[in-house]
A and B are shown apart, each in its own frame.
Chain A
Amino acid sequence: MGKYILKRLGYVLVVFLILSLLMYLVYAMIPYDRARAEVEKFKEVYKNDPVGFENKYQEMRKDMGLDKNVFVRYLGWIGVVPINGEYQGLLWGDFGYSYEKDMPAQKVLVEPMKNTIFINIFATVLALGITIPLGIFCAVKRGSKRDTLVQVGTIIGYSIPTFVTAILFIWLFAIVLRWFPVSGMKTAGAEFTGTRALLDELYHMALPLIVMTFCSLGGMTRYVRASMTEALSMDCIRTARAKGLREKVVVYSHAFRNALIPIITLVIGWFLGIFSGSIMIENIFGLNGMGRVYIESLNAKDFEVVLLLQMFYVIIGLLGNLIIDIAYGIADPRVRVNK
């Protein structure tokens, strides 16, 4: 198993390097000059000195390493060649710089990451807590009126775009019923502390959380239902029933275990997804999360932040696959991952 994991980690490194090079090249190809954008802000200061202005521009290009070949810049970003006589880059703990926010790229991501994880943990637990039992229930009661009702409900929920659901829920719960705030992350100007502050935060998170949960119900419920339906039709289940086992034991110990393999992929994916923010939800509800940072950075062409984010998700994705493969082995002894 150890050897297998090491081998997979080696693959992760290779894939990371290939993807990072590709991503770096893509952003380098975009017609945008960060040095020009930065020096434009000094234009007024250099109004009487156009030569000084041009010198400042060239100086900025040099400082940012833009006077160098894109491959040299990439290697500098990784940290294996010096830029302006200094080693920097990923290997040296320098994850890039946000010129829009004027701070190190990783610092830009700290608070949004916390917020995203906070809301995603709740959303994931809530969604799984509802969808798995509901999916099992529907599979067991397949063809019943209740199953049909859930199927219709989930297909509607699954088909409605997130932003439509969000707007409808805001209108209903925040504007008409006034149960929740329209947007924001806490009551502006309130001086709550401790539990009261947490409750206030949860109160503000409630509506986006409900929207996120609602939007994810359809897909997962139907997925669990399908897996369980397939599992329930297996010979071993028939045998179990023939042995006179209780229906609960048949469903939860035998059928569900068999249905786990496809579900595990999704469930682990969901948990890994707690690091990624929802661009739509975060923007509509004004949440300072990863999704919003991502889209804002893209719009502002703050590519070092975008690159860091994407590379982070690449790592998460690659490690996630490894974890899923290992989890297969745990869930189903027939699957061997140590080769």
Chain B
Amino acid sequence: MKKTLALLLAVLMIVGVFAGCGDKKVDKPADGTTGNNPPAVKNENKVIVGSTTDLAGDFRWPGFGGSSAGAADQDVNGLIVGYATMETNQGGAYVWNDTAVKAHSETEDENGNLVITIEINPGLKFSDGTEIKAVNYIASILAFSTNVSVQAGHTGRSGQAFVGFDSFNAYDGEEAEGATKEFAGIRLLDEYTFSMTVKAPDYYPYYFANTYGAVSPQALGLVLGEGVEVKDDGNGAYLTEAWYEKDAEGAFVKAAHLEAARYDWNTYPVSGPYYISDWDDSTKIATLTINPEFTGNFEGQKPSIKTIVYTKIVQETQLDQFKTGQIDILSGITGGDDTKAALAAVDESEGKFDEVHYQRAGYGKLQFECDFGPTMFASVRKAVAYVLNTSEFAEAFTGGYGTVVYGPYSPDFDMWVAVEDEINLIDYSFSVENAKQALIDGGWIYNETGAEFVEGTDTVRYKKLTAEEATDVNINYASVANTDGKEYKTVKVGDDYYMPCVINWFGTTNNNVTDMLGARLVGTENVAAIGMVVRSTTGDFDKLQGEIYRETSYGYGGTPTFGMFNLATGWNSSVYDYAFNWSLDPIYFGYSANKLFDEYDVAFPYYAADGSHTKMSYDEAMAASGNKLGMDYLSMAMVYDAANVDEYNQWWMAYIERWNDLMPDIPLYSNYYFDVYNAKIENFQTSPFWGPTDALLYCTIANAE
């Protein structure tokens, strides 16, 4: 008995030792709102941001080298890089940064190119006090347009939109035909002025062409290493010979510098509101300290929070970490259960926590393949839209914290706000009758014998294929995943082919959306009532991608099988450009997620057969096409023909309306995102385009030390 008691005591002692450590630590949180102790009067001027994405230490140019850019690394990058000539505002639009830019002009040269000339304000400084000059803005464009950067894993195409890129890119340090050491389109005009010439016609005219003027300053040592200078003798800016130095094996010496600099967080100064004062690769925690040299963002806003800590959190227990004071900000909470739990935490906190929410700039969707099978017909896509009760689905999936949109837009877009009262969209509210009618209008009026479809007797509608529609894929079309043992396939009756209204749908596993869609589409009464069948197959995301992009290396079998997928889409800014996504030219196939070839575009294409395009105003184009402008035309004209915001909005509205009519996707839900935060943080306002790290620039800490 004594021994048992001793053993118990020993265990208790061990626990006590740890608990002792624990008590000390729980006292530590800066805000004083956590643990068992009463709130402290003063709050430490520090914020801890939790991220479910791992920090990788790739803070200098995350993703720029071609690797996947982690969201957390990008956030840290956003805090250490400042004074960009253009920055995105709260609405996601690019605006000139008057804090950094003294003057700017956009003019056309004699060749029709766009010359963007920028003069920066003198006196801007990096975190180490060295002055920021024009060279700091153009050094990275030059460096990342050379093969030295390619050897370091980058694309080497940073300056591809500018005049003279090809010859500059071809230069490897030695004179050669077609290669020049100067980048003609990039000019270093004086200490504080530089210009960039956007190449026509490939990149200009282009509605967002001025965004090519968005560049950020970088420390020369970071980008170029030692011994390299940026010069301009009148023919264009260039990098001195040391940049192109090669070792005995012919490899660029500076490539190794670029690779090393990418993860070097503390050798080189930064231009943003914060600098990284500590980075722990082992625990994945980054600590950022206020940069006293930073004079403000595009609104002249300077930070006041002294320290921002970025730390990895675990999704499953993130709310507990927040409630116990391990983190101060938990962002991007969505989904019914998580949102309810987060809001309950706020409600029960008696003012210690607060929340801010916004509608996501994006949506979950059903995406269709529009070049084969039943889903190549708009009538089928519309029927699915009608028969799937998207309002109910959104309600169920988001727990009431989401809405339904009927087109590819965010209600937060400026263009949506501009056309909201004017735009005419089809309302695809749940209606079995409308779904049925859409199929009837689309010619789905036969049964498998080629006779007329009789409701109550026949189960699946068939459509007679025209000669053009009777492609090899379509005449061999068949349902898969026939768990009930019944296979539907295109049948030949006489000389005609009849395709069944049976959709092969592919969804990813471990996905609530897949499960919920299955419950609403597969074998349900409503779907059966319209004479349609949906067959479900699940698999991993790579398989899904393989089927969409028809990549055999991703498991695609060589014949398109699935006509419907569930996915999500979103926007990081309001730069809305879908040019080439609906092209009829097979060379752009890889950019077309839906493979929708709009019949209107066949009749009235954007490019004539000889490759030329006659620029027309919206009204002229509408008149010329007989009010039938297709997706390709509209998406191209929107960015290449619009000269001002009104014209852009007009094209945009027509594009959304056409999209809404063709329904290449069905938006399922546009959910709300909730950011919960410790109420010691004042003035915390986020938006779809304005994340916590942007918002923190405007925040203060209540009762800060």
- Interface contact B48-A188, CB-CB below 8 Å: yes
* A200 within 8 Å of B (CB atoms): yes
- Interface contact A31-B555, CB-CB below 8 Å: yes
Query: Which 6 residue pairs across A and B have the least CB separation, nearest first?
Result: A33-B553, A31-B555, A189-B309, A102-B67, A203-B21, A188-B311
- Convert A45-62 into 0s and 1s, putting 1 for each residue whose CB lies closer than 8 angstroms to a CB of B: 111101101000000000
* Residues of A72-124 whose CB lies within 8 A of B: 99-102, 111, 114-115
Q: What chain B residues lie within 8 Å of A203 (beta carbons)?
A: 18, 21-22, 25
Tell me the complex Cα distance, A182–B321, Å: 6
Chain B residue at minimal CB-CB distance from A203: B21
- Interface contact B283-A185, CB-CB below 8 Å: yes
Q: For this complex, into which size category does the number of interface residues on chain B fall?
A: 35 or more
- Convert A127-151 into 0s and 1s, putting 1 for each residue whose CB lies closer than 8 angstroms to a CB of B: 0000000000100000000100000
* A206 within 8 Å of B (CB atoms): yes
Question: In angstroms, how far is the closest chain A Cβ from the Cβ of B544?
Answer: 12
Contact of B590 among A50, A102, A284 (CB under 8 A): A50
Contact of A178 among B36, B309, B311, B312 (CB under 8 A): B36
- Interface contact B313-A183, CB-CB below 8 Å: yes
Tell me the complex Cα distance, A151–B579, Å: 70
Tell me the complex Cα distance, A199–B17, Å: 10
- Interface contact B317-A206, CB-CB below 8 Å: no
- Interface contact A184-B36, CB-CB below 8 Å: no
- Interface contact B309-A185, CB-CB below 8 Å: no
* B560 within 8 Å of A (CB atoms): no
How many A-B pairs have beta carbons closer than 8 Å: the answer is 147
Known contacts: A178-B35, A186-B283. The answer to whether A47 contacts B324 by CB under 8 A is no
Listed stretches A35-43, A233-241, A243-251, A331-339; interface member: A35-43
Q: What chain B residues lie within 8 Å of A48 (beta carbons)?
A: 202-203, 580
* Residues of B587-616 whose CB lies within 8 A of A: 587-588, 590-591
- Convert B307-341 into 0s and 1s, putting 1 for each residue whose CB lies closer than 8 angstroms to a CB of A: 10101111011001101101100000000000000
Q: What chain A residues lie within 8 Å of B554 (beta carbons)?
A: 31-33, 36
* A180 within 8 Å of B (CB atoms): yes
Tell me the complex Cα distance, A191–B44, Å: 13
Known contacts: A182-B320, A184-B311, A189-B48. The answer to whether A206 contacts B542 by CB under 8 A is no
Question: In angstroms, how far is the closest chain B Cβ from the Cβ of A129?
Answer: 10
Known contacts: A33-B551, A178-B35. The answer to whether A186 contacts B280 by CB under 8 A is yes
Q: List 16 A-B contacts (CB under 8 A).
A: A31-B542, A32-B542, A41-B63, A46-B157, A100-B67, A100-B68, A137-B3, A179-B18, A179-B22, A183-B313, A184-B326, A186-B280, A189-B285, A191-B278, A202-B21, A206-B21
- Interface contact A45-B311, CB-CB below 8 Å: no
- Interface contact B311-A301, CB-CB below 8 Å: no
Chain A residue at minimal CB-CB distance from B30: A189
Tell me the complex Cα distance, A137–B324, Å: 40
Chain A residue at minimal CB-CB distance from B579: A47
* Residues of B560-580 whose CB lies within 8 A of A: 579-580
* B694 within 8 Å of A (CB atoms): no
Q: What chain A residues lie within 8 Å of B543 (beta carbons)?
A: 31
Tell me the complex Cα distance, A311–B346, Å: 48
Contact of B546 among A31, A191, A206 (CB under 8 A): A31
* A26 within 8 Å of B (CB atoms): no
Tell me the complex Cα distance, A178–B580, Å: 56
- Interface contact A288-B284, CB-CB below 8 Å: yes
Contact of B25 among A181, A191, A210 (CB under 8 A): A181
* A187 within 8 Å of B (CB atoms): yes
Interface of chain A, main secondary structure: loop
* B492 within 8 Å of A (CB atoms): no
Tell me the complex Cα distance, A53–B590, Å: 10
Contact of B66 among A33, A41, A186 (CB under 8 A): A41
* Residues of B39-58 whose CB lies within 8 A of A: 46, 48, 54, 56, 58
Question: In angstroms, how far is the closest chain B Cβ from the Cβ of A225?
Answer: 15
Q: What chain A residues lie within 8 Å of B155 (beta carbons)?
A: 42, 45
* Residues of B256-310 whose CB lies within 8 A of A: 278, 280-285, 287, 307, 309
- Interface contact B157-A186, CB-CB below 8 Å: no
Total interface residues in chain A, CB < 8 Å: 54
Q: What chain B residues lie within 8 Å of A200 (beta carbons)?
A: 21, 25
- Interface contact B21-A190, CB-CB below 8 Å: no
- Interface contact B282-A206, CB-CB below 8 Å: no
* Residues of A195-245 whose CB lies within 8 A of B: 199-200, 202-203, 206, 210
- Interface contact A178-B46, CB-CB below 8 Å: no
Tell me the complex Cα distance, A146–B554, Å: 59
Contact of B321 among A38, A51, A183 (CB under 8 A): A183
Question: In angstroms, how far is the closest chain A Cβ from the Cβ of B680?
Answer: 14
Chain A contacts to B: CB under 8 angstroms: 31-33, 36, 38, 41-43, 45-48, 50-51, 53, 99-102, 111, 114-115, 137, 146, 170, 174-175, 178-191, 199-200, 202-203, 206, 210, 283-286, 288, 296, 301
Chain B residue at minimal CB-CB distance from A66: B553
Question: In angstroms, how far is the closest chain A Cβ from the Cβ of B553?
Answer: 3
Q: What chain B residues lie within 8 Å of A170 (beta carbons)?
A: 317, 320
Tell me the complex Cα distance, A210–B580, Å: 57
Chain B residue at minimal CB-CB distance from A292: B54
Contact of B324 among A45, A101, A181 (CB under 8 A): A181
- Convert B637-667 into 0s and 1s, putting 1 for each residue whose CB lies closer than 8 angstroms to a CB of A: 0000000000000000000000000000000
- Interface contact A175-B284, CB-CB below 8 Å: no
- Interface contact B28-A187, CB-CB below 8 Å: yes
* B225 within 8 Å of A (CB atoms): no
Known contacts: A33-B554, A187-B25, A283-B314. The answer to whether A182 contacts B587 by CB under 8 A is no
Contact of A38 among B19, B66, B316, B551 (CB under 8 A): B66
Q: A36-B553, A46-B157, A184-B311 are in contact. List 8 more A-B contacts (CB 8 A).
A: A31-B555, A178-B22, A181-B321, A182-B324, A186-B285, A188-B285, A210-B15, A301-B542
Q: What chain B residues lie within 8 Å of A191 (beta carbons)?
A: 278
* Residues of B426-479 whose CB lies within 8 A of A: none
Q: What chain A residues lie within 8 Å of B287 (beta carbons)?
A: 189
Chain A residue at minimal CB-CB distance from B288: A189
Q: What chain A residues lie within 8 Å of B65 (beta carbons)?
A: 102
- Interface contact A189-B314, CB-CB below 8 Å: no
* B511 within 8 Å of A (CB atoms): no
Q: What chain B residues lie within 8 Å of A284 (beta carbons)?
A: 314, 316-317
Contact of B587 among A51, A188, A202 (CB under 8 A): A51
* B685 within 8 Å of A (CB atoms): no
Tell me the complex Cα distance, A114–B67, Å: 25
Q: What chain A residues lie within 8 Å of B28 (beta carbons)?
A: 187, 190
* B625 within 8 Å of A (CB atoms): no
Q: What chain B residues lie within 8 Å of A33 (beta carbons)?
A: 551, 553-554
Tell me the complex Cα distance, A284–B324, Å: 16
Tell me the complex Cα distance, A51–B585, Å: 13
* B411 within 8 Å of A (CB atoms): no
Chain A residue at minimal CB-CB distance from B21: A203
* B26 within 8 Å of A (CB atoms): yes
Q: What chain B residues lie within 8 Å of A189 (beta carbons)?
A: 30, 46, 48, 285, 287, 307, 309, 311
Most buried by A among B28, B46, B307, B323: B28
Question: In angstroms, how far is the closest chain B Cβ from the Cβ of A122?
Answer: 11
Question: In angstroms, how far is the closest chain A Cβ from the Cβ of B317?
Answer: 5
Tell me the complex Cα distance, A48–B579, Å: 10
Contact of A115 among B63, B153, B282, B311 (CB under 8 A): B282
Tell me the complex Cα distance, A109–B587, Å: 41
* Residues of B189-204 whose CB lies within 8 A of A: 202-203
* B483 within 8 Å of A (CB atoms): no
Tell me the complex Cα distance, A30–B575, Å: 37
- Interface contact A99-B67, CB-CB below 8 Å: yes
* B4 within 8 Å of A (CB atoms): yes
- Interface contact B56-A184, CB-CB below 8 Å: no
- Convert B155-180 into 0s and 1s, putting 1 for each residue whose CB lies closer than 8 angstroms to a CB of A: 10100100000000000000000000
